[in-house]
Structure 1
């Protein structure tokens, strides 16, 4: 198991006992356990939202700090769950009723996809990320749920997309339309900060805004 701390592009390393960053995975500091990496993460203060604990072997994010929106969404989900439990009608069978109990499988269980499925999606996407268009090697592919499991999506191949790690992490549990709008908002905001006095940007901005109308 290779556990590192990354933001999808940079990796944390230690130089003379101080934290530093590198773009090369082989230079990243490899933690003995997820708990060791999480303890470091909790001391990153301002960088918590960007970095997360990642297992390079299983291609899974083991831990990341939640944004304020995610914290509020989780609180709201708990409030709804408590409210639902308070209003549940007792449907438990009585002792003298011979009613079999049926176990309903969960739809939102994340599964590990076979190499054949990954290769099929990779070929269908032409070897490119279906969100940013970047060319990828097959071993670098991550599988994204087009409709997130948290929103009722399934593990069916028709709901899967071939994406790069950075886009998959950025998209998170958003539907494609929300993801694209978020990317657009980030781009427009950052360009406005850097180029607001540029005539070329003013013309480009006017054109981009007219296209979105």
Structure 2
């Protein structure tokens, strides 16, 4: 049985199937493009902007797809791929916080927070950083301010985000950094690992 694509493991586990499907589609595009051009597959290649180029000329992906769908064409251009994940790939992180405590009132202020996370080789680094910032701030809210209060009869007194205590823009630490620490993991596609929960755990 496969390990399963759940929680934040979708890219890591299912991503290899998507990669194989893309490679399969690439082979089909080259094959049918070569047929249209009347050339051996070995003599054609993918080129920009979206064409199969050979020694005799070139044909666009759109033309290949159109010929496949009309007359006695070969059908839709669809790539398929399947993958059974043999191993797990675990993300790692190190988190550092600097807080100030008012010893008279007990008020806590989070001044600095650094999150350094290993999520393999990110498929999209900017989205990965956004995920880390969002997950970390969410966990900071869970730890420091968010609370649902009930009365003696069990009715919630917390009825909106204002009273719930979700972090606001002013609650973000003045020095707040997320850093990707890439590694070349062999399990996920192109070295990618999961990134979601690990951003919450350290905070």
TM-score, normalised via structure 1 length: 0.25
TM-score, normalised via structure 2 length: 0.26
Asked which structure has the greater CA Rg, the reply is 2
Question: Would you tell me which structure has more helix in proportion to its own residues?
Answer: 1
